[in-house]
Structure 1
Amino acid sequence: MPLTFRKSFRILPGVRLNINKRSWSITTGGKNGPRHTRSSTGRRTTSMDLPGPFGWRRTTTSKRR
């Protein structure tokens, strides 16, 4: 089992800074409603928890040159 590094900091209410070994990301939103995440690698994710065992997620990745 490989070792991993991940740390999350709360900057403001509803805003988190997530850091891992390869990149960092900013997440806005809370438990209720949609969450938007932008990563330093160009990845953008929008997700939302739905009632019951359901969830919704859309991820787009921009091409870096």
Structure 2
Amino acid sequence: MAITFRKSFRILPGVRLNINRHSWSITTGGKHGPHHTSSSTGRRTSSMDLPGPFGWRRTTTRRRRG
């Protein structure tokens, strides 16, 4: 079994700093409604919880040169 590490810190209301073994990310948005996450690896995610068991998520990744 692999050992994992993940920690989340609240910086300001609606802004969180998330840290794991390989990267860090900043998440903006409240508990309900739209969320926007930008990671140190270049991944950007926008998501939103919808009523009932529904949700929406879109992820884009920055291309690496070379």
Fold conserved between structures, TM > 0.5: yes
Q: 1:11 corresponds to which residue?
A: 11
Equivalent pairs, count:
65
Unpaired segments ≥5 residues, structure 2: none
Q: What is the alpha-carbon root mean square deviation over aligned residues?
A: 0.8
Q: 1:64 offset after TM fit, Å?
A: 2.4
> In structure 2, how many angstroms separate the alpha carbons of the residues matched to 1:24 and 1:47?
18
With the length of structure 1 as denominator, give the TM-score of the two structures: 0.95
Q: For structure 1, which runs of at least 5 residues remain unmatched after alignment? A: none
In 2, the alpha carbon distance for the partners of 1:28 and 1:3 equals 28
TM-score, normalized by length of structure 2? 0.93
Residues 1-65 of structure 1 correspond to what in structure 2 (within 5 A)? Answer: 1-65=1-65
Any idea what the Cα deviations from partners look like across 1:1-53, whole Å, max 9, x if unmatched?
21100000000000000000000000000112100000000000000001111
